[in-house]
Amino acid sequence: MERPTDPMLTMPEVAVRLGVCVATVRRMIDRDGLSAKRVGRQYRVPATAFERWCERLDVGSPTSCGGEGQAQGQAGER
């Protein structure tokens, strides 16, 4: 469960961490169970929810999730 003070990631921040485009992040929210909260007209992803989602999909640690090496290769194959 997200903490009230949990940092929120923007969709472009999530996209950079995963090495995918923003449209793919939208699909991950719609289809793959990535948790997001609507803030005005935009979506934000709670950092702890993103960490859990990365762990569940076994794409590595969130700080390297899609950054370089193995995590990026796995994210790109989806």
List the chain domain ranges. Answer: 8-73
**HSE-up of residue 72 (Cα within 13 Å, Cβ side):** 9
How far is CA 63 from each of CA 30, 31, 33, 38, 68, rounded to the nearest angstrom? 23, 23, 19, 23, 10
Q: Beta strands of the chain (E only): which ranges? A: 8-10, 37-39, 42-46
Across the range 3-13, mean pLDDT stands at 86
Q: Which CATH number fits domain 8-73: 1.10.8, 3.40.50, 1.10.1660, 2.60.120?
A: 1.10.1660
Q: What is the pLDDT of residue 57?
A: 81
pLDDT digits (tens, 9 = 90+) for 14-72: 999 999 999 999 999 999 999 999 999 999 999 999 999 999 887 655 554 554 433 33
User: Which residues have C-beta within 8 Å of that of residue 55, sequence separation ≥ 6?
Assistant: none
**pTM over the 0.75 mark:** no
Give the model's pLDDT for residue 78: 39
